[in-house]
Structure 1
Amino acid sequence: MITNHLRSRIGFEVELIAPKGLSRRNLADAIARLHNGEVIRFFHAQAEPSKLPDTPIFENLTLGFKVVGPGQKLIALCVDDLTLQSDLDKSAASKEGWYRIVSDDARFLELVACQCDAGLPIKQVLTKLAHLYRTDLQIDRSGMCRVVDQSNHSIAIAAPLPGERERACELVTAPIKTDHHQQLSEFLCLAKDLAYTIPVEGATHLHFEALSFHSAQTIKNIVNLFDDHDQLLRRLFKTNIHCTRLGQWPQSLFNLVAQPSFTLLAWPEAKRQLQELPITKYCNYNLANIIHEIKEKPTFEVRILPSSLEALDIINAACVVEALLTIACSSINIERLGPVGTDNKSILAFLNEINIDTSVRDFYCSRFRP
């Protein structure tokens, strides 16, 4: 029995690959059976770069699977992640019943998600959208279904899913407050039983509930503390070198929090100034959900963990992050000092300085002792 040392409410996102012949739906079904729940098919929004001129991004809706328990309480999601590419055979035929919906405008896809039923087959799923525009659904020989407006401008296209994309599976847990290790381990054991594996580009994301981080001082502390320790944490956690959509915060963020007047600001004004900066989610530590107060994810997201089928690896990393966040939320003022060392001696000193359980400290110290 592993003692749970975490106190934070945390959502876990673990990227996995289903074995050939299976899909993310199989993991969702297994989770539902374990919890006496049900699986609901839904549209999961994503974006990917486009090769078409004047269209830098293709907005996507892919098929996701929501596992709910009694009272429709969320248990987990199993969704696609377009960063997972290397493990999939793009030349494989599209699997029957699997499709995605694409558009060059996210607003059209939001309309699709609100008006169309993800449970319908490809030839029927956009019929209601076509009716809204008073046009007919266009279906070509490849199986693509297209909706246009009265001027024949494309609104959205439903297309058969590219080869093996159904195998990509990002396991997203509902926020967990207690027994983090036990609950995450249950999900990952099911994945191992189904022979799921770690993707080449795989990552794990930690979403710490951030409602208590709504202060200028706390944001300054988080920015300076995590930037100074970024290289150390990436070595400690063994960040996947093939993982994409990572990066540093813009210099303008450091300039803002370094202003003596910033920590004196009330949260609404601090938030307004932060919202003016070019901060996206695609960085090592995602502040965007806090700054823009995303209702679905009011979180501080850590994106540098590798994917893992071992819950203990993920939970121990969460304990280290929680210790740093506890420091950031304290009354002290943390200035930016520059990157700390990443040699074994520096890592061991760091582990001995932060407030983590002995078992967590020993877990990491065993890797870095001379």
Structure 2
Amino acid sequence: MSDPAHRPWKKGFEIELMAPRGLSRRDLADRIAERAGGRVRTVFYPQSEPSLVPGMPVFENLVLGFEVVGSAGERVALCVDDLTLRDGLNPRAAPLPGWMRILSDDARLLALVAEHCDPDADLADILAPVAALFGTEPEYTEGGITKIVDRAARSIAMAAPLPGERERPCEIITRPYEDDPEAKLTALLADASALGFTVPREAAVHIHFDAAPLCDAAILSRLVETLHRHGAYLRDLVGTNPACVRLGPIADELVERVRSEAFLDADWDKARTMLAETKPTKYADFNLLNIAHALPDKHTFEARIFPGSMDVADIMRNARLLEAVLVRAIGGDGARDDTDLIASLDLSSTDRAFWTARMIKG
């Protein structure tokens, strides 16, 4: 098979890093902005974490993120927390001034907070606009916590200082790149390296591919079939980090749904609805949630199996591997019973040699 023509797929990257003690993700955002001639603005960023409270499976969070905006208004990078990054942090460290998070048991209430509140406001004042919507005033409790309730004293949200060195984890989220992102990623990671950022023990690199070319029932069915059949092999091939959490195979119910005649015969709107009915989760090796719900700001297929890295060559090689899997599904070859997945992919001779050697070594 000859080297394929260069057909870049629109894609964005999420790269998990850790700041050295004494620095924070804000420091990285500032450095990127200085290099890029941009500015930094504080934003809210949603996160969820498991809860030990009975009847409440997760706590929903808004954490402070720092978006670097270029001179033309484009996103250069977004630096946010990732609650799965914990190793090496001092859980007893006191909160730094100005660092906080907002919690609720309902993500819809946090969406209201994000819409009406100012992430640059002080902890004591940050929830006041939402309290006013409910006709109440913020309440203050020990530990510097600000709480708001409705008129029936039902909890809406609370803002709390951010302890435990939670300012140090940094997930760099890029904008979707239309062209070759290698130079842009190299510059971002050079900024991080210059400040002493490192790859944490639990780290991963997530790659979001534009979902538009996949919006066809037959294409998506072939893609899911390939990932179901070869998922464990792909994890071994790329060296998925065993310390990563929130991973797992595509659910059997989803696989069976996309195999069904009803799904394969459906137009895309109906097929997408059928896909959404299987309730795909973000927290899997391959995230189909965004495409199932056609999220306007994140209409993507996300691959989450790649290990943490600051090596741009490795990150780009992994991206090309998954892109070849996507191209294979579009080309109609995704349902073949291949015993050698790499041989069936349209890869450059260099990439094919690398992955073949990796297979033999493994």
Q: TM-score range by the shorter chain?
A: over 0.9
> Shift of residue 366 of structure 1?
4.4
Q: Does structure 1 retain, via aligned residues, the 8 Å contact 2:225–2:334?
A: no
Please tell me whether residue 136 in structure 1 is matched to residue 137 in structure 2.
yes
Larger mean Cα displacement after TM superposition, 104-113 or 300-309: 104-113
What's 2:231 paired with? 230
Query: Corresponding residue for 1:44?
Result: 45
Aligned residue for 1:322? 323
Q: Any conservation in 2 of the 1:14–1:171 contact (CA below 8 Å)?
A: yes
Counterpart Cα distance in 2 of 1:275 and 1:368 = 35
Q: CA deviation at 1:355?
A: 1.6
CA shift for structure 1 position 333: 6.2
1:343 — aligned with what?
none
1:113 matched residue in structure 2: 114
- Within 5 Å, which residues of 2 pair with 1:293-304? 293-304=294-305
Contact 2:211–2:300, Cα closer than 8 Å, also in 1: yes
Partner letter of residue 19 of structure 2?
A
Q: Is the 8 A contact 2:8 2:180 kept in 1?
A: no
Residues 225, 334 of structure 1: 8 Å contact kept: yes
For structure 1, list consecutive stretches of 5 or more residues without a partner in the other structure: 341-348
Percent identity for Structure 1 against Structure 2: 41
1:245 corresponding residue in structure 2? 246
CA contact (8 A) 1:88 1:165 kept: yes
Corresponding letter in the other structure for 1:86: D
The Cα of 1:95 is off from its aligned counterpart by: 1.2
Partner of residue 357, structure 1: 348
Moved more, 38-47 or 325-334: 325-334
RMSD: 1.8
Partner of 2:258: 257
Change (3 A) 1:5 1:180: farther
Mapped to 1, the partners of 2:211 and 2:233 lie a distance apart of 23
* Corresponding letter in the other structure for 1:78: C
CA contact (8 A) 2:113 2:127 kept: yes
Instruction: Provide the secondary structure at the position in 2 that maps to 1:356.
Output: coil
Match of 2:69 in 1: 68
Q: What is the alpha-carbon distance in structure 2 between the residues aligned to residue 159 and residue 249 of structure 1?
A: 36
Report the counterpart of residue 270 of structure 2 in structure 1.
269
- C-alpha displacement of 1:262: 2.7
State the TM-score, normalized to the length of structure 2.
0.94
1:102 corresponds to 2:93: no
Give the whole-Å Cα distance in 2 for the aligned partners of 1:114 and 1:190: 31
Q: Structure 2 CA distance, aligned partners of 1:63 and 1:333?
A: 41
The structure-2 alpha-carbon separation of the partners of 1:25 and 1:313, relative to structure 1 and needing over 3 Å to count, comes to same
Contact 1:16 1:198 in 2 (8 A): yes
Provide TM-score, normalisation by structure 1. Answer: 0.92
Which residues of 2 match residues 124-163 of structure 1 at below 5 A?
A: 124-163=125-164
Deviation at 1:70, TM superposition (A): 2.0
Is the partner of 2:170 in helix, strand or coil?
strand
Aligned partners of 1:191, 1:213: CA distance in 2, in Å? Answer: 34
Q: How many angstroms does 1:26 deviate by?
A: 1.1
Q: Deviations over 1:116-164 (max 9, x none)?
A: 0001111111122222222222112311111111122221111000210
CA shift at 1:365, angstroms? 4.0
The separation in 2 between residues aligned to 1:292 and 1:129, in whole angstroms, is: 28
Displacement of 1:6 in angstroms is 5.8
SS of equivalent residue, structure 2 residue 261? coil
**Partner of residue 34, structure 2:** 33
Q: Deviations over 1:251-288 (max 9, x none)?
A: 11222222234322111111121111131111111111
Is the Cα contact below 8 Å between 2:222 and 2:332 reproduced in 1?
no
Cα distance change, pair 217–127 in 1 and its aligned pair in 2 (3 A): same
2:174 equivalent in structure 1: 173
Report the counterpart of residue 280 of structure 1 in structure 2. 281
Cα distance in 2 for partners of 1:133, 1:14 equals 38
Amino acid at match of 2:154: H
Runs of at least 5 residues in structure 2 that lack an aligned partner in the other structure: none
2-side partners of 1:261 and 1:107: how far apart? 33
Q: Note the C-alpha offset of 1:48.
A: 1.0
User: Secondary structure, in 3 states, of the residue corresponding to 2:63?
Assistant: strand
CA contact (8 A) 1:95 1:163 kept: no
Which residue is 1:187 aligned to? 188
* CA distance in 1 between partners of 2:12 and 2:242 (Å): 23
Distance 1:57 1:111 in 2: 18
Q: Which residue matches 2:12?
A: 11
SS in 2 for 1:183: helix
Partner Cα separation in structure 2 for residue 29 and residue 369 of structure 1: 44
- SS of 1:70's partner is coil
Q: Distance in 1 between matches of 2:315 and 2:219?
A: 25
Question: In structure 1, what residue type is equivalent to 2:351?
Answer: V
Deviation larger for 125-134 or 18-27: 125-134
Task: Describe the superposition over 1:23-56 as per-residue Cα deviations: whole angstroms up to 9, x where unpaired.
Answer: 1111111111111111110110111112223322
SS of 2:223 mapped into structure 1: helix
Contact 1:81 1:169 in 2 (8 A): yes
Q: Any idea what SS the aligned residue of 1:122 has?
A: coil
Partner of 1:78: 79
Tell me: CA distance 1:261–1:134, structure 2 relative to 1, closer, same or farther (3 Å): closer
d(CA) in 1 for partners of 2:93, 2:211: 42
Q: CA deviation at 1:89?
A: 1.1
Distance in 2 separating the partners of 1:286 and 1:31: 29
